[in-house]
Amino acid sequence: MTDSVLIEGLAVEAIIGVYDWEREVSQRLLVDLEMAWDNRVPAASDDVGDALDYARVSERVAAYLASARPQLLETAAEGIAGLLQAEFGVRWLRLTLRKPGAVPAAAAVGVKIERGSL
């Protein structure tokens, strides 16, 4: 199966970082997700209950980042991947997590991970 569901450029405000000042302010993070999902069933039924509900996924990712308050992007990425696999049954995903403005000379810094199998 090569079907997937995409969420690109999900903007989330979260407390993240290792410096003292970063633990006091909310920073914008950008999340890109590609998640393996068999889209034939929801296509046939036209029922969101059969689909990977990207609105629910987006809300859950935002809630996780708001509550987890990790220091590292790596920790945040692993947490998101784990919850998507556990809570939504996503077998494989590719996740990019960016922190715009973290390095003045760069548009963003970030991490990219792939977890699971197709």
Q: State yes or no: is 99 an active-site residue.
A: yes
Helices (H), 2-116: 40-45, 54-68, 73-88
Which helix (H) or strand (E) element contains residue 6?
strand 4-14
Strand runs labelled E in 51-103 = 92-100
One of 10, 97, 99, 110 is an active-site residue; which one? 99
By C-alpha distance, which of 34, 7, 38, 14 is closest to 112?
A: 34
Query: What's the longest Cα–Cα distance across the chain?
Result: 52
Return the active site residues: 99
